[in-house]
Amino acid sequence: MKAGLTIAAATIAMSAAPVAHANSDTIADLKALVSQGAFKEAYLHLGDIPPAQRSADWVDVASSAAAGVLPTLSSDDGTTIVAIDQIDRDYPQLLKTAKYMRVRADLGLKGLAGCYAQTSDYWSSYGIANCSTLALRFIDNAGGDKALALQVAKLASRSMMAYSAVPFFKRALARDPAVCRDGDLQTAVVSGLGLEPEHAGDAKAMMTTCWDSVKDAVAKAFDADSPHGYVRQNTCGILKAKGMISGLQAKRC
């Protein structure tokens, strides 16, 4: 990942850690800051309120501060998604507030797109891995948001090798069985079936779950694979059970 992303993202992520200040603000102070549009200052002082005093009022003002500070950050270089990841971990209470989650969903997706766009050349492998880690946590903390899970999965499928998107489509599928019909899922599954058997477990499970939608693509990949290729190793059993391969092919499984 480019150094610019790491440094820019750290600007808020590192300074936003919930640490009590010497001159602790009150909830009234935080509300005043939010009402004045001083979202970053309010956000950076959320930790002034001790955990035992973080009432419904605190959650409300905290969600306003977080939702207000995110639009001030850059989505183009991935800063937004790093900040969201930090907020989610520091203040998980906000994951239950509609105010924060609406902004999180919109800007998080844009931030992920920016994160993946920053990966190139020497930094590509490192950067993609970091973006994907953020993306998976982003989805895992998004509750049952079906549309967002699919959007992230499709973004991942466009940003990496197709098989790398399997964990994302697994999450999207868990939220909505209709995802089986998505063309990018089918591509990811077939690509995942080309991995060594010990790494193809999720792709095989999704193949079984989405059989009616992926069977034609799986059969085509089977036919195109070498006799001892991984696609054949990972699909021979189900194709044999479904009667979709010849007797000679079945004997060679």
253 residues of the chain, pLDDT tens digit each? 443 444 344 445 445 455 444 456 799 999 999 999 999 999 999 999 999 999 999 999 999 999 999 999 988 888 999 999 999 999 999 999 999 999 999 999 999 999 998 865 434 555 678 899 999 999 999 999 999 999 999 999 999 999 999 999 999 999 999 999 999 999 999 999 999 999 999 999 999 999 999 999 999 999 999 988 999 999 999 999 998 887 766 666 6
The pLDDT, as a whole number, for residue 22 is 46
Write down the pTM of the prediction.
0.85
Tokens of 3: 């150094």
The pLDDT, as a whole number, for residue 181 is 98
Tokens of 45: 């002082």
Three-state secondary structure of 46-97: HHHCCHHHCCHHHHHHHHHHHHHHHHHCCCCCCHHHHHHHHHHHHCHHHHHC
Amino acid at 174: A
pLDDT digits (tens, 9 = 90+) for 63-91: 999 999 999 998 888 899 999 999 999 99
Residue 94: Cβ-neighbour burial (10 angstroms; 0-12, 13-18, 19+): buried
Tokens of 77: 């270089």
Angle between helices 230-241 and 201-209 (to 10 degrees): 30
Residue the block writes with tokens 């800051």: 33
